[in-house]
Structure 1
Amino acid sequence: MGILSRTPPNFFAAPFGFTGLAGTWLVLSRTANAPRGVSAALYVLAAAVWLVLLVGYLARVTTTRGRLMADLRDPVLSPFVSVIAIVAMQLGVGLHSYAPRTATVVVDVALVVVIGLGGWLTGQWMTGAPDQDKFHPGYLLPTVAGGLVASAAATTVGQPGLGRLCFGIGIVCWLVIGSLMLQRLFFRPPLPTPLVPTMAIEVAPAPVAGLAWFALTPAPDTLAFGLAGYTILMTLAQIRLIPIYLRTPFTPGFWAFTFSYAAVATLAIRWLAVERPPAQQALSWLIALLLTALIGAIAVRSVIALVQRTYFPPPPPPPPPPATTTAPESGHPR
């Protein structure tokens, strides 16, 4: 399996980002006459990347005894394991227009895995006394992103009751984990350099919640406006972080930008379709093209890192040779 067997769970942020971009183009096709094939091609690309990484991750956890449980207990990596199933839910949404029954099965199976993992990880955090300085915005993924993406996915495949249930999981966990996360970012030492890009995840909960709520309640109401307002605030906060991002060396962690900013872009396009300003279609296209350029740049930089063999983590060091002892020679007492 070679280098693929060194696939860590955070690498699934790449197909997650591609599904976010596909969702943006899907909304653009419905509101601004974009070709539907762009969204379909991006879902296919996301599925291909997801499958390759899944093969690699399965090799990782099956060739090293106890690797999966170690990942689920790791204070840095554990939240990212859930992204594997969250991406599967997103792929089910992309499949729904072409094979609705199959898409429903994919969404439901992935949803059960996501909620199950979210519950297990919540219990793990409750009993494991996590180090607050290792707490990072990725902790929003299993229950906040998982619950809200599951809400939109379930509603899309025709299960609005399940969508409401998952919306509750996502919103309540956002209120709890989100407040703890901001406390950590406000008052504790800065994140380690490899985790700096995860601050982009902070912008995601509000637009993902907004999209889930639009799926449940297409006509904008007070909650929809409130989620849009908080999305604006957290997007402005990201602008202040740009100098920090520019000083950070490129790592696969930069894929954290992709789904987060795709959620902002998709919600913006959705609101433009509701409000219908004079330049609605032009603004929608501009947002989608800027997002595509950003994700394309991260993808190109990732390919360069792959070619340079700097993308994957280095192989673990070989175990030390067993100690040898020399028996005393016969007839020569010590």
Structure 2
Amino acid sequence: MANEEKQEDAAPSVVIPEERPYPKGFRCGYIAVVGRPNVGKSTLINYLVGEKVSITSHKPQTTRDRVLGVLTRDNAQFVFVDTPGFQSKYKGGLIHHMNNVVRGVLSEVDVVFFVIDAIGWKKADEEVLRLIPRESTVILVLNKTDELKNREALLPLMAESMQKFPFAAIIPTSAKKGKQCEELLEEAKKYLPEDAPYYDPDLYTDKSPRFLVAETVREKAFRLLGDELPYGIAVTIDKWDETDKSAEIIATLLVDNERHRPIVIGEKGAKLREISRLARADVEKMLGKPVHLEVWVRVRRGWSDDIRALKTLGYE
């Protein structure tokens, strides 16, 4: 039974049959999406892939680990790597892990999408830019153009940007509205190597359903609690019973301080019930079946600075 459960939790297979025909000149490669916190990296990947593979919120550091999103076209496969926003202001075990993820990804990809706000450069943007080797193929993505009052300001920003780094291209976009995203893909494709797909064309992420459900619960907590939400929060999946017709899932929100527990629960359990309700709706769409989802809260002191706890929670 234990072996069966382990197989169910594993990420989908990524093996490609060698005999599958692909057109001559097919391109495939990895694209890292990097930038400071809260510039829209996850929103951009979700739009490009056409599926929700990475959670989003207005709170910085929503993404904590690398998340793969896969988009397969007739002549190319784009494998996007969503990364945590690089953080220099705060310290701790979790922050150290997230910054290491960014550094590791940069050494493994074919193209880098470096994302900043279209309103202009900030000091934190330049700190992230210094991490990128100058020999890397980097496309500067000026995101959130839908929020600009004067689009003419983009021209001097583009000129300023080329003085900072030899970008292969600069593409203004709005990930929220989907503007210029197709142009971004076409530009990236030029720099991908000619190769067969790395992943099955029907796959849109390498993450297991358990991971996606845990992230969905965490996203709803971020969105519902906003500034009240303590930074030290994580989600574990404690029970997963799934049949062809339904699923029963029990998740636990971990907080690292006793005083945070009532904040997450809310008056008479109202906030926790709403987190569960919102998450269940997304999970049912993801799994394509009715889901009974229970969400509990437990205190685990200092988990975000505990190396062993971080490994247990999947942050290795």
TM-score (norm. length: structure 1): 0.28
Greater per-residue helix proportion: 1
TM-score (norm. length: structure 2): 0.29
